[in-house]
Amino acid sequence: MPVEDTVVLVVGSGGREHELVRQLAWTADIQKVYAIPGNAGTALLDIVENVDLSVTDVPAIVAFVHEHAVTTVLIGPEAPLLAGLSDALRAEGIVVFGASKAAAMLEASKAFAAGFMRRQGIPQPQYWTVHSLEEALEVIKERDPTTYVLKADGLAAGKGVVLPQTTYEAEEALQLMFSGEGFDAAGKDGVVIQERLHGPEVSAFAISDGTNVILLPFAQDHKRLLDNNEGPNTGGMGAYTPLPSYIVSEDQTARIHAIAAQSITGMANEGNPYQGVLYIGLILAEERGGAPVVIEYNARFGDPEAEVLLPALSESDVDVAHLLIQTAHGTLPAIHPSFKTSVLTVCLAASGYPQTPRKGDLIEGLENTYENVIIHHAGTKKVDDTTLTNGGRVLYVTGFGPTLDEAAAHAYAAIGENAIHFEGMQYRTDIGYQGRTPNTTVV
């Protein structure tokens, strides 16, 4: 179907937005793509222009859209959604892919999400919503600290969750949450204490125009910095898709489909329709016989999940740009994507990440061609003819192939001394271990 929109704006600057822009840039009837602010990767693409505006400066973005005859806006991260960007643009008649501020509360408030799931009968961990330190201490008083997790209610840049080992650690975290001194002050007004569950984690993505839903094949993220899931939590050290059937069975898949459908219809029925992509973070909980349980919602594509899901979609003959634009128009087509290609992405993180990432290291090897590889920029900066590190998560090296082993081999072949590298580079060698043949790590 031809899409009249020819001028598209992508809001955001990470690997996820590089992938969104890449999908738009090779679509024949799109003539111009703006990225606010974009990154050194988006700047490489012919029809793309980076625009140096803040992603949360709503009036400036609305003015830009009018001045440059932008017809469709795709919003990547959550911050602009919560700043009301999608609402402000829709009020001006602009077609937007991205949840309204009210619907994005599924991500911005853990208490809102928990209450929504309770009303809709969506499986979630047992939970207690508490509004003061005293209330919280009362809940944990008689409990083993390894049986619960603490979640600051609001947004804490992915760092609002604590899995305490000791009661002392739990009390300390709660104190920091309620005083507002820690966790980006996201726990000041409330904390959700959740039952701790065990089992594989699955990232599911539901694309919806408010009524219709497409559930993408699943992905898995790798949050810890080091191999074997050791080291501190990060924004995501790698991801892969699709998952082997021994991780998610047909029955579990059917249950996740039901959860996605109920999430979207539930929001519509509550007068808060969800339009955009809903990220459903699940645990296949051993405590519930492997049943999928929702541990979080996000109002956006995952990063780095987007870097594997969108290439896998287009490798499976789905026109991703049109799919997203049609969603924005409220005319989501009824497709049931299944992936023919495996895609795996490895994060190259800066020295010192995640605590104190160093900036300004020279990235080498970007000029070479790597077979079956996409290089997604995330924290990079172009200075004259060189590309420098400019953030914690610097690049995602994304490989694809008919099997996960081949996808991994392609990605890892593009990383190292004779390929892409920079001083102090950190990366995991075991991304996708869940679905790879053991001992095939290429380093």
Shortest Å distance, C-beta 301 to ligand GLY:
7
Beta pairing partners, 95: 72
Closest by CA to 333, choosing from 209, 217, 242, is 209
Minimum CB separation of residue 161 from ligand GLY in Å reads 11
Verify binding: residue 300, ligand AMP, rule CB under 6 A.
Answer: no
Which ranges of 68-160 does DSSP label H, i.e. alpha helix? Answer: 78-82, 85-91, 105-108, 110-120, 133-140
CA–CA separation, 424 and 367 (whole Å):
20
CB of 210 to ligand AMP, least distance (A): 25
Selected from 5, 19, 87, 303, the binder of ligand GLY by CB under 6 A is 303
Complex with ligand GLY: residue 10 or 94, whichever CB lies closer: 10
Q: What are the backbone dihedrals phi and psi of residue 191, each rounded to the nearest 5 degrees, phi first?
A: -140, 140
343 binds ligand AMP (CB under 6 A): no
CA 34/CA 8 separation, integer angstroms:
6
197 contacts which partner out of ligand GLY, ligand AMP, none, CB within 5 to 8 A by kind?
ligand AMP
Q: Does 78 bind ligand GLY (CB under 6 A)?
A: no
Size of residue set near ligand GLY by CB under 6 A: 7
Tell me the residue number closest to ligand AMP, measured at CB: 296
Within 8 A by CB and 6+ apart from 207, the residues are 213, 214, 216, 276, 277, 323, 324, 327, 332
Q: Which DSSP helix (H) or strand (E) runs through 394?
A: strand 393-401
- Cβ proximity to ligand AMP: between 156 and 413 the closer is 156
426: left (phi over 0), alpha (psi -120 to 50) or beta: beta
Give yes or no for a contact between 53 and 37, defined as CB atoms under 8 angstroms apart.
yes
DSSP secondary structure, 216-243, as one string: PPPBEE--EEEGGGEEEE-S-SEEEESP
Q: Supply 256's token pair.
A: 């996740």
298 contributes a contact to ligand GLY by CB under 6 A: yes
85 or 197: CB nearest ligand AMP = 197
Contacts of 259 (CB under 8 A, 6+ apart): 122, 123, 204, 280, 282, 292, 294
Rule CB under 6 A: which of 70-129 touch ligand AMP?
Answer: 125
Instruction: Pick the piece of the chain touching ligand AMP (CB under 6 A) from 37-45, 72-80, 196-204, 343-351.
Output: 196-204
Q: Does 158 bind ligand GLY (CB under 6 A)?
A: yes
- Give all strands of the β-sheet with 191-195 in edge-to-edge order: 127-130, 191-195, 148-152, 161-162
Sign of CA dihedral 189, 194, 200, 204: negative
Going by their DSSP bridges, the two strands 342-349 and 393-401 should be labelled as antiparallel
Please state the closest distance from residue 284 (CB atom) to ligand AMP, in A: 12
Cα(441)–Cα(147) distance, rounded to whole angstroms?
34
> Residues 201 to 220: which contact ligand AMP by CB under 6 A?
201
Pattern 161-190, ligand AMP, x by CB under 6 A: x-----------------------------
- Structural contact between residues 112 and 82, judged by C-beta atoms closer than 8 angstroms: no
Chosen residue from 87, 153, 221, 307 binding ligand GLY by CB under 6 A:
221
For ligand AMP, the closer CB: 170 or 328: 170
CB of 148 to ligand AMP, least distance (A): 8
What is Dmax (Cα atoms) for the chain? 62
Find which of ligand AMP, ligand GLY, none residue 236 binds, CB within 5 to 8 Å per kind. ligand GLY
* Window 279-298: residues binding ligand AMP (CB under 6 A): 281, 295-296
Quick one: what does residue 107 bind among ligand AMP, ligand GLY, none, with the CB cut-off 5 to 8 Å set by partner type?
none
Residue 149 interacting partner from ligand GLY, ligand AMP, none (CB closer than 5 to 8 Å by kind): ligand AMP
305 contact choice in ligand GLY, ligand AMP, none (CB below 5 to 8 Å, kind-dependent): ligand GLY
Q: Is 236 in the site for ligand GLY (CB under 6 A)?
A: yes
Neighbours of 368 (CB within 10 A): 12
Which residues are at the interface with ligand AMP (CB under 6 A)? 125, 149, 158, 161, 194, 196-197, 201, 223, 281, 295-296
Which residues are at the interface with ligand GLY (CB under 6 A)? 158, 221, 236, 298, 302-303, 305
